Amino acid sequence: MVSITPNPQTVEAQQNFTVTVHLDTATEVRGSTSWITYDPGKVTFVSAARGSLLDGFPMYWFIAAPETPDRVRISSQILQAGASVFGPGDLIYITFTAVEEGFTTLEFYDLQLYDLLGNVIPDVTTNNGDVIIGPSPAYLKAKCWLQGAYSNGSMHTLQNNVIPLTSPYAADPVTVDSIPEDVVDWCLLELRSTHNGQPTVCKSVWLGSDGWLRLPDKPYLILMDSSAGPWYVVVRHRNHLAVMSSSAVYFGSSGSPPILDLGDITSIYGGGGVKEVETGIVALAAGDANRDGVVAPVDRMSYWRPQSGLSGYYSADFDLDGFVAPRDLNSMWRTNTGLLSTVPASR
């Protein structure tokens, strides 16, 4: 395993920063070649130097050069025949300049580790590194599930082709150019400083089939010019009950992103608005077509009945398959009737 660290790297625009290509395992190597890609509108390559793992060894070569505007190749090999080093340790230090505020991933386009004889070591895995550029970043990895789409540790994306390019939430009606194939639906993220306070931040976010929430074109929840909190985290969906974190959580401003798992009942404020979809795993409960915080007869009479038989992006499509059908009523609404969200009303 080879990783780019720190992950994420935070930096302000027009500043230089250095990341490490780190050999994570106790692997014997004589050298390596890394091809790293990035967004050249966000960062530019400056220089590279050999890592501390190679200190004290004469090098047969150490080459660092951009191959394209968005990719740099860095290659090294120890000169002495029969010489090698053992991980873990730092292979390369790479310096970039942050061009403008935003985000990019430093991604391994390819990687080769060389053994004692100079042969490529097979099956080496990699971890990319994220770069967050801007003042006062705050970030979090948050996970939740939607009952309607859940199946065996994942969620289907059957309605993906009808998800609108503009978020359905008036609090943040962001528009995107396209919807990635792994997106289950839009959700609305709210951050509160108190459990019943007005939202300080509202963001339309994507929910992936793996349960992770992310801002469009970001790998997770990344905010700029934002306090790290602590925040009560509310997740809303257009036809599932809303949930809130059981306590206020801090976002990260350096180091690895904190993780909030709203699939764990102990992480849910008040313990309501959810259904157990697997032993020890809860999901936002389906059936709240009018988003009033309760699965009730009005969701059937005023939404499911007039929409029944329609295909597309509809509020009564509780199983999120792109069709409003009897199974939405029987498998979701009927079994959930009377369930309440336990997110406190804002005051």
pLDDT at 31 over 90: yes
How is domain 2-133 classified at the CATH fold level?
A: Immunoglobulin-like (2.60.40)
Q: How far apart, in whole angstroms, are the C-alpha atoms of residue 51 and residue 113?
A: 14
Q: Per residue in 114-167, pLDDT tens?
A: 998 889 999 999 999 999 999 999 999 999 999 999 999 999 999 999 999 999
Q: Distances in Å between the alpha carbon of 1 and those of 30, 62, 111, 181, 290? A: 16, 21, 11, 28, 48
Q: Which of 268, 314, 270, 261 is nearest to 289 (CA)?
A: 314
- 262 — pLDDT class (breaks 50, 70, 90): very high
Q: Average model confidence (pLDDT) for the chain?
A: 96
- 189 — pLDDT class (breaks 50, 70, 90): very high
Q: Per residue in 87-129, pLDDT tens?
A: 899 999 999 999 999 999 999 999 999 998 889 999 999 999 9
Q: How far apart, in whole angstroms, are the C-alpha atoms of residue 65 and residue 70?
A: 11
Whole-number pLDDT of residue 90: 97
List helix spans (H) across 202-267. Answer: none
Can 2-133 and 138-336 be said to share one CATH topology? yes
Written as one letter, the residue type at 32 is: S
Whole-number pLDDT of residue 58: 85
Q: Which of 252, 169, 165, 149 is nearest to 210 (CA)?
A: 149
Whole-number pLDDT of residue 197: 96
Give the pairing of strands 232-236 and 9-11: unpaired
Q: Per residue in 52-97, pLDDT tens?
A: 999 888 888 899 999 999 999 999 998 877 788 888 999 999 999 9
Q: What is the CATH number of domain 138-336?
A: 2.60.40
Backbone phi and psi for residue 299, each to the nearest 5 degrees, phi listed first:
-65, -30
Average of per-residue pLDDT across 326-347? 97
Q: Per residue in 275-314, pLDDT tens?
A: 999 999 999 999 999 999 999 999 999 999 999 999 999 9
Domain boundaries, the chain: 2-133, 138-336
- 331 — pLDDT class (breaks 50, 70, 90): very high
Q: What is the DSSP string of 40-92?
A: TTTEEEEEEEE-GGGTT--EEEEEEEEEETTEEEEEEEESSTT--EESSEEEE
Whole-number pLDDT of residue 61: 87
Question: The pTM is what?
Answer: 0.90
Give the pairing of strands 9-11 and 129-133: parallel
pLDDT at 257 over 90: yes
Q: Which of 343, 1, 47, 334 is nearest to 196 (CA)?
A: 343
Q: Which percentage of the chain shows pLDDT scores above 90?
A: 92
The contacts found for 9-13 with CB under 8 angstroms, 24 or more apart, are 9/129, 9/130, 9/131, 9/132, 10/131, 10/132, 10/133, 10/137, 10/253, 10/254, 11/98, 11/131, 11/132, 11/133, 12/98, 12/133, 12/134, 12/135, 13/98, 13/99, 13/100, 13/101, 13/133, 13/134
Whole-number pLDDT of residue 82: 76
pLDDT at 316 over 80: yes
- 198 — pLDDT class (breaks 50, 70, 90): very high
CB atoms within 10 A of CB 26: 9
Whole-number pLDDT of residue 56: 84
